[in-house]
Amino acid sequence: MLRAVIQTPLCPLHRAFRQAPRRQLRRIPSCTASRSPALLSCAPWQPGIMAATALKPLIAVCQLTSTPDKEQNFASCSQLIQEAAQRGACLVFLPEAFDFIGSNTQETLSLAESLEGAQIQRYAGLARECGVWLSLGGFHERGEDWASTRRIYNCHLLLDPTGQVMATYRKTHLCDVELEGRVSMKESKFTNPGPEIVPPVSTPAGKVGLAICYDLRFPEISLALTQEGAEILTYPSAFTVTTGSAHWEVLLRARAIETQCYVVAAAQTGKNHERRTSYGHAMVVDPWGCVIAQCQEGPGLCYAEIDLGYLRRIRREMPVCTHRRADLYGRVTVLKKPPPP
């Protein structure tokens, strides 16, 4: 079932409400509280309606066609982020390779930057200006071992609205896949696998667990993140058309049903360069497995409200996590790396 999210512009009061930290979200703002001209746009929200519909945090999911042109990609992302912020989203998700998609290995390596470079600074600035959290779902990162390995990391960053990096997760499952005559990917040729799964991060929308694209095929990581408290799992992606049309929605819905989490998947779409096309279908799945938002064809955004009350009800009514038989097949965990000696 596809449930449309009604997209209405928000008045400044509601926008502030949606973007406030969760602990401040107890009171429903009243549009009649102030007569400021800035709030005249509140007219459609009569006090009676407001009392009946407590606003839930709104998230925005981006669909992009990254190319090798970093400037153009930044301009596209920046426009989408601003639009999402204006609509009142508190958290905006960008797909894997939001920074660029190189047309060959050489180009990919030469365009990659470190986390201290200009790109991430610019996104930190955007987070601040727009007052939103940003999931930067797959940055081509020159890590500390760049000089020795000459390989990069596929790094998912989560920024808070002050522009601070709250978490970095480096893709642990690399996509080395050869489907004769259709798909040829060897990510490990230019990417180092990440060393660890990172604990979920608290945001105004819920606790966010970070993964990337091909990780979606490994339910262990989604279970490990859920056991650590995740309420929202993120799979920023750049799926191929062949594998996406066969597996994408099924995998996303399966991860949501198994873990009883919201699953958020920003995506690349369309022709990235001469030899590459991405599947698109950026979407949000609720913890019951229902697709509650999906992008239309081409670059753009879709929105979803996160209802943690609904999530808790599903977990209470069908407590699968307490029915696990770890005695039969073991447990998955987020292994904490030992501190350096």
Ligand X SMILES: O=C(O)CNC(=O)[C@H](CS)NC(=O)CCC(=O)C(=O)O
Q: How far is the CB of 187 from ligand X (least distance, A)?
A: 4
Check residue 187 for interaction with ligand X (CB under 6 A).
yes
The answer to whether 95 and 137 are in contact (CB under 8 A) is yes
Task: Give the nearest distance from C-beta 276 to ligand X in angstroms.
Answer: 8
Q: Which residue in the list 155, 213, 295, 302 is annotated as catalytic?
A: 213
For residue 98, state whether it binds ligand X (rule: CB under 6 A): no
281 in Cβ contact with 244 (< 8 Å): yes
CB count in 10 Å sphere of residue 26? 8
At 119, list the tokens: 């790109």
Q: Which of 58, 64, 238, 301 binds ligand X (CB under 6 A)?
A: 238
* Active-site annotation holder among 77, 141, 171, 295: 171
Contact yes or no for 176/186 (Cβ under 8 A): yes
Q: Is 178 a catalytic residue?
A: no
Can 155 be counted among the known catalytic residues?
A: no
Stretch binding ligand X (CB under 6 A), from 87-95, 119-127, 213-221, 297-305: 213-221
Closest CA to 139 of 191, 205, 83: 191
Residue from 108, 119, 203, 226 in contact with ligand X (CB under 6 A): 108
Instruction: Please report whether residue 77 would count as binding ligand X according to CB under 6 A.
Output: no
Does the protein bind ligand X through residue 213 (CB under 6 A)? Answer: yes
Span from 24-32, 93-101, 224-232, 329-337 in contact with ligand X (CB under 6 A): 93-101
CB atoms under 10 Å from CB of 278, counted, come to 25
Q: Does 249 bind ligand X (CB under 6 A)?
A: no
Nearer to ligand X, 208 or 238 (CB): 238
94 binds ligand X (CB under 6 A): no
- For residue 62, indicate whether it is catalytic: no
What does the per-residue mask of binding to ligand X show for 147-186, with x meaning CB under 6 A?
----------------------------x---------x-
Contact flag: residue 63 with ligand X (CB under 6 A): no
241 or 334: CB nearest ligand X: 241
Q: Are 75 and 108 in contact (CB under 8 A)?
A: no
Q: Are 26 and 106 in contact (CB under 8 A)?
A: no
Burial of 92 (0-12, 13-18, 19+ CB in 10 A): buried
Binds ligand X (CB under 6 A): choice among 92, 101, 155, 261: 101
CB 73 within 8 A of CB 80: no
Strand 153-159 versus strand 133-141 pairing type: antiparallel
Q: How far is CA 261 from CA 21, 135, 254, in A?
A: 20, 17, 10
Answer whether 123's CB lies under 8 Å from 164's CB.
Answer: no
Tokens encoding 195: 């060393």
Which residues are catalytic, by number?
A: 96, 171, 213
Residues contributing to the site for ligand X (CB under 6 A): 96-97, 101, 108, 175, 185, 187, 213-214, 217, 238-240, 243
